[in-house]
Amino acid sequence: MSARHSARPAGRDDQQTRTVEAITGEFAALRAAGETAAAETVDAVARGRHRLLPVRRPAMYLAAAAAGAVLVNVLVGGGPSAEADTATEPAAQAVSVAQQLGISAPADATQAASELSGHLQELAASRAQRESDEASAAQAQAAADQAATDAAAAAAAQAAADAAAAAQAQAAADAEAAAENATASDFHDYALAQLGGDASQFSCLESLWGRESKWDPDAQNPSSTAYGIAQFLDSTWAGTGIAKTSNGFRQIDAGLIYLDERYGSPCGGWAHSQATGWY
């Protein structure tokens, strides 16, 4: 540095100091604003509402710092000779101001932002995959629960059907056993009960079947297929909806159905039998 440049008045040195401080303060404010904007951008990226753009603010800061350094040099320069002696100072001062402001190289900031964006995208993808897996597991569990419920309901329905069938079979077996041991008096009581206690109709019925079979459920006509208490032919059974059977109680049921459909009542069948000898 020349003697003339080193002998600057103290006032100019003070002015230079104040100017640098002012510029430093302004750049500090710019830096704080940039950091706030960067934080808002990162937050927006994390929320998936903003695409992170390359960070270009550090380059702007460096350019501004260089311009500020040149301005300082112009303000404090003493003339052509001073300008020649300090030709290399603006760049050095610009770097110094940038260092004071803590500005890093643009490439480093862009890389850091890119890495942060990639990391956030990985986290979002991982969360989406986890939520998808959880939803699939919940659906599978719901399907398994429903299948178990349906299987239990089907088992219960089958058990109920089996119980009903067993009860019906037992009732039929009991009826068969009762029929085998039944007497004519038992058949009379059963027929009267089926007629609703109508003694007049039962009297006609007693006379009709007394003449036909003497109320014997095993009575067999030797010259035809007529069989049982009502002496039905094989073709007559089909019309009653009851299969041919040796059970006297079921024979009574079939006989009452036939009399009601053909003659309207037991007395109507008895009247026809008295007139023709058959019914």
What φ, ψ does residue 232 adopt, rounded to 5°? -80, 140
Q: How many domains does the chain have?
A: 2
Helix (H, G, I), strand (E, B) or coil at 227: strand
Judge whether 136 lies within some domain. no
Percent of the chain residues topping a pLDDT of 70: 61
Say if residues 90 and 68 touch (Cβ distance below 8 Å). Answer: no
Judge whether 111 lies within some domain. no
Judge whether 119 lies within some domain. no
**Cβ-proximal residues to 213 (8 Å cutoff; 6+ apart), any chain:** 219, 228, 229, 230, 231
Say if residues 215 and 184 touch (Cβ distance below 8 Å). Answer: yes
Judge whether 192 lies within some domain. yes
Q: Are residues 192 and 99 in the same domain?
A: no
Judge whether 239 lies within some domain. yes
Alpha-carbon gap, residue 112 to 231, rounded angstroms: 108
Residue at which a domain ends, from 104, 120, 145? 104
Say if residues 259 and 209 touch (Cβ distance below 8 Å). Answer: no
Residue at which a domain ends, from 104, 139, 172? 104
The residue segments making up the domain with residue 22 are 3-104
pLDDT tens-digit readout, 123-140: 999 999 999 999 999 999
Residue-level pLDDT at 139: 94
pLDDT tens-digit readout, 42-56: 565 556 544 444 444
Say if residues 179 and 247 touch (Cβ distance below 8 Å). Answer: yes
pLDDT tens-digit readout, 172-220: 788 788 888 999 999 999 999 999 999 999 999 999 999 999 999 999 9
Judge whether 58 lies within some domain. yes
Residue at which a domain ends, from 104, 131, 163? 104
**Cβ-proximal residues to 239 (8 Å cutoff; 6+ apart), any chain:** 258, 261
Judge whether 9 lies within some domain. yes
Judge whether 160 lies within some domain. no
Alpha-carbon gap, residue 229 to 179, rounded angstroms: 12
Start-to-end Cα distance in the chain = 152
